[in-house]
Structure 1
Amino acid sequence: MEDTPLVVGVDGSVSSLRAVDWAANEATRHGASLRIVHASLWERYEGSDPAIGAEGPPDQALAERVVATAAARARRREPSLSVITHIAAEDPAGTLLHESTFASAVVVGSRGRGELSALLLGSVSLLVAARAACPVVVIRGDEAALNAEHGRILLGVGSRDSGTAAVHFALREASVRHATLRAVSAWRHPGPRLGKHRPPSGGAREPAEQAATSLLARALEEQTPLFPDVRVERVTAEGPAAKVLTSLSFEADLLILGARRQGTPVGLELGTTAHRALHHSACPVVVVPHAVHTTRATG
């Protein structure tokens, strides 16, 4: 991330300020600058209430206050951090998608509505995660989870959504954090289940589990030699991938998933696993597009 800035989108909400905290720490780890971006139409899309106060000045002054508050917060957290601010009187999702073309990563908060705000993801965050040209970090998890240090990076490896960029990104994060990389491939028994009875040990489930083991080996074989300092745990688990990864996210500092580029105007196909993880993970989630320039994917 050293050659390009880490971008964080802010709207003045508590969620976006938590994203600033995470992004400030992350930029410092990688020796990058932090670019704080505010789009003035953000509130129209997210319906968020600025954490800096309900009563505010006109739009431009409020926008300046939002970015100034975020910048001051980032500098207090990381005094040596280089911070740049940018205000755009444009659509928030479009602004961040444009920023993603020259960012090492884009960081956004997780915004919800109503009683399910802890679970549901804001429309801007979801759109940016689906279409950005660089990795997108959605800050999931409560304050305690964000401050916890489990020393473990979680990587989801699937037959459709695995990609070299995601693996490299995960290994790089584990290296700079001196953390263990837990690479996980979920598998399902192909045959019908009878009630709650599991198939007998040594039976038909073995080929599916072996396929998951082989998938992990293929995904990791080229990249792991580049990071000899990283301890890698290879885990195969029976069950829906989203459920498996969400459960393991309680013991991780970061969950990393790959996404396929469709080559169409809609950009990336997140898939069911990434979509559910973005809504329910207990830790921040990174979506890494396959077709991404190396410096963007890895920093």
Structure 2
Amino acid sequence: MNTADENAVAERALGGPLVVGVDGSEPSLRAADWASDEAALRGVPLRVVYACLWDRYEGAALARDIGEPTEPPLPQDVVGAAAERARARHPGLRVTADVVFEEPEYALVRAARNASALVVGTRGRSGLAEMLLGSVSLAVAAHADCPVIVLRGSHDNQATPPVHGRVVVGVGEDAKESAAVRFAAEEARRRGVPLEAIRAWRCPAYEPGGYPLMLGEPTRQYEERAIEELEGALQDLPADVEVRRRTVEGHARRALVDASHSADLLVVGASRREGQLGFQLGRTAHAVLHHSACAVAIVPHRGHDA
């Protein structure tokens, strides 16, 4: 990412609206609660978006779920209720509401272009619609240009006050890719909680020459390298952020999922490669989206996944 791109991202992160996707389900309303807290923390407007293909299936599906087959709620009612809920939670927050008649993944990725962050839930209504929303969350996390915060089904529906008092960030191999670390540091500072930075490392069973790796000094060099990479990723963080450093031997995805049980937010990076249209989530990001015990922020960068 060149300097101009970085400046544009920084300006958007400072003042762009925070977008939340809703669909009328209780998990999406809890996502609106969380998003309103986050927007208030950032001092930015909240935009509530309901994207649907109403004429095809949304009206009938929702009508069956709520037991009113003849008069399902209008899309404007769904998004309006979520917006009113956000306003009631934070009376001074500027909230707008939009209905977009389009596939949700396309509409939300488009909305993310001018957003400081995008918030989505993981589950929707029952049955097929529930699986579809899960697919939407993954697609948005894999392709959005801004950070995407995915709220797990069992999450606390609040960004503030902190429940566990900790933000966790996974630090990948490429310490130069610091977008996720910077994002996590800002989130920790806004909440007034420590940032825990985790760098996982693994010792290969064999050295490049094909000889078994002996325990002791050769093993320590891999841990020492991880410590150096961790320090490199954290060296430019603001002095007012309390940072706790931890290196863990093993898979990054396992270490981060374990850490999520005592965190308010888990932050990982995900690569965005120019010209690539397919799925752009690495194994670590994909795993934590499925198994984290807390909200997960996927922060795009140009490089390798954490």
Q: Identify whether the pair has TM-score above 0.5, normalized to the shorter chain.
A: yes
3-state DSSP class of the match of 2:271?
A: strand
1-structure distance, mates of 2:293, 2:61 = 22
The letter for the 1-side match of 2:270 is A
Aligned residues of 2:27 and 2:124 also touching (Cα < 8 A): no
Aligned residues of 1:14 and 1:51 also touching (Cα < 8 A): no
3-state DSSP class of the match of 1:122?
A: helix
Task: Specify which structure has the bigger relative contact order, considering alpha-carbon pairs within 8 angstroms and separated by 6 or more residues.
Answer: 1
Find 2:66's aligned residue among 25, 34, 53. 53
Q: In the alignment, what sits opposite 1:99?
A: 111
Aligned residues of 1:155 and 1:257 also touching (Cα < 8 A): yes
The letter for the 2-side match of 1:73 is R
Q: In the alignment, what sits opposite 1:66?
A: 78
Find 2:43's aligned residue among 18, 23, 31. 31
Aligned residues of 1:190 and 1:208 also touching (Cα < 8 A): no
Deviation for aligned residue 1:112: 7.1
Q: Trace 1:203-282 onto structure 2 (pairs within 5 A).
A: 203-222=217-236, 224=237, 227-266=238-277, 269-282=280-293
Q: Deviations over 1:69-96 (max 9, x none)?
A: 1011111211111100011111111000
Distance change >3 Å, CA 112–CA 40, structure 1 → 2: closer
TM-score normalised by length of structure 1: 0.83
2-structure distance, mates of 1:57, 1:258 = 45
Distance change >3 Å, CA 72–CA 57, structure 1 → 2: farther
1-structure distance, mates of 2:197, 2:96 = 35
Deviation for aligned residue 1:166: 1.2
Q: Is the counterpart of residue 155 in structure 1 residue 169 in structure 2? A: yes
Q: In the alignment, what sits opposite 1:195?
A: none
Deviation for aligned residue 1:145: 7.8
The letter for the 1-side match of 2:100 is A
The letter for the 2-side match of 1:137 is I
Q: In the alignment, what sits opposite 2:87?
A: 75
Aligned residues of 1:39 and 1:89 also touching (Cα < 8 A): yes
2-structure distance, mates of 1:33, 1:142 = 26
Deviation for aligned residue 1:258: 1.0
Q: Deviations over 1:208-242 (max 9, x none)?
A: 211111111111112x1xx2111000100111110
Aligned residues of 2:25 and 2:124 also touching (Cα < 8 A): no
Question: Percent of counterpart pairs with the same letter?
Answer: 45
Find 1:180's aligned residue among 188, 194, 198. 194
2-structure distance, mates of 1:112, 1:122 = 8
Q: Deviations over 1:92-151 (max 9, x none)?
A: 110001101100011000127979x99998000000000001110001251448576111
Q: Is the counterpart of residue 169 in structure 1 residue 183 in structure 2? A: yes
1-structure distance, mates of 2:84, 2:255 = 38
1-structure distance, mates of 2:203, 2:130 = 32
Aligned residues of 2:170 and 2:198 also touching (Cα < 8 A): yes
The letter for the 2-side match of 1:156 is G
Q: In the alignment, what sits opposite 2:9?
A: none
Deviation for aligned residue 1:200: 8.5
Distance change >3 Å, CA 188–CA 51, structure 1 → 2: farther
Alignment root-mean-square deviation, CA = 3.2
Distance change >3 Å, CA 56–CA 106, structure 1 → 2: farther
Distance change >3 Å, CA 87–CA 157, structure 1 → 2: same
2-structure distance, mates of 1:153, 1:120 = 29
3-state DSSP class of the match of 1:101?
A: helix
Distance change >3 Å, CA 275–CA 206, structure 1 → 2: same
The letter for the 1-side match of 2:106 is G
Distance change >3 Å, CA 191–CA 146, structure 1 → 2: farther
Q: Deviations over 1:19-39 (max 9, x none)?
A: 101100000001111000011
Deviation for aligned residue 1:48: 7.7
Q: In the alignment, what sits opposite 1:90?
A: 102
Distance change >3 Å, CA 243–CA 5, structure 1 → 2: same
2-structure distance, mates of 1:120, 1:216 = 37
2-structure distance, mates of 1:29, 1:205 = 43
Q: Deviations over 1:44-89 (max 9, x none)?
A: 69x9858993426778x52111101101111121111110001111
Distance change >3 Å, CA 166–CA 233, structure 1 → 2: same
1-structure distance, mates of 2:202, 2:107 = 40
Aligned residues of 1:185 and 1:237 also touching (Cα < 8 A): yes
The letter for the 2-side match of 1:92 is P
1-structure distance, mates of 2:110, 2:156 = 32
1-structure distance, mates of 2:67, 2:176 = 43
The letter for the 1-side match of 2:66 is G
Find 1:22's aligned residue among 22, 34, 41. 34
